[in-house]
Structure 1
Amino acid sequence: MAGGDEAAKAPRRRSGRPRGETRTREDIMAAARGEFQERGFDKATIRGIAAAAGVDPALVHHYYGSKQDLFVAVMELPPEIPNLVRNAIAGDPDTAGERLARFFFGVWDRPNTISPFLTLLRSAVTNEQAAAMLREFITDMMVGPVTEQVAIDHAPIRAPLAASQMVGIAMLRYVIGIEPMKSASVDQLVAIAAPTLQHYLRGPLPDSAVSRGETAGSQAAPR
Structure 2
Amino acid sequence: MGSTENIPIGREAVVTALLRAAADEFAERGFESASIRAIATRAGVNHGLVHRHFGSKSQLLTAVLADLSDKVASDVATGSRLDTRSSDATQLFLRVLARSLLDGADVAGQARHPVMDWAVNQAVDRTGADPAAVRVGVAQSIALELGWLLFEPFLIAAADLDAAELASARDGIQEVQRALVDRSRSASTPPK
Unaligned 5+ segments in structure 2 are: none
Q: Aligned letter for 2:51?
A: H
Q: Name 1:4's counterpart in structure 2.
A: none
- Give yes or no for the alignment of 1:149 onto 2:125: yes
Equivalent pair of 1:138/1:163 in contact (CA under 8 Å): no
Q: Aligned letter for 2:50?
A: V
CA distance in 2, matches of 1:71, 1:36: 8
Q: Name 1:160's counterpart in structure 2.
A: 139
Asked which structure has the greater RCO (Cα within 8 Å, sep 6+), the reply is: 1
CA distance in 2, matches of 1:29, 1:170: 23
- Give yes or no for the alignment of 1:178 onto 2:154: yes
What number of residue pairs does the alignment pair up? 177
1:145: Cα distance to partner?
Answer: 1.9
1:58: Cα distance to partner?
Answer: 1.7
Q: Name 1:32's counterpart in structure 2.
A: 22
- Give yes or no for the alignment of 1:104 onto 2:82: yes
Return the match for 2:60 from 70, 87, 105: 70
- CA RMSD of the aligned region, Å? 4.2
Report the TM-score when normalising by structure 2: 0.65
CA distance in 2, matches of 1:168, 1:148: 23
- Give yes or no for the alignment of 1:198 onto 2:188: no
1:82: Cα distance to partner?
Answer: 7.7
Give the fraction of aligned pairs with identical amino acids, expressed as a percent: 20
Q: What are the equivalent positions in structure 2 for 1:22-101 lying under 5 Å apart?
A: 22=10, 23-75=13-65, 76=67, 77-78=69-70, 81=73, 84-85=76-77, 88=79, 100=80
Q: Aligned letter for 1:48?
A: A
CA distance in 2, matches of 1:185, 1:116: 27
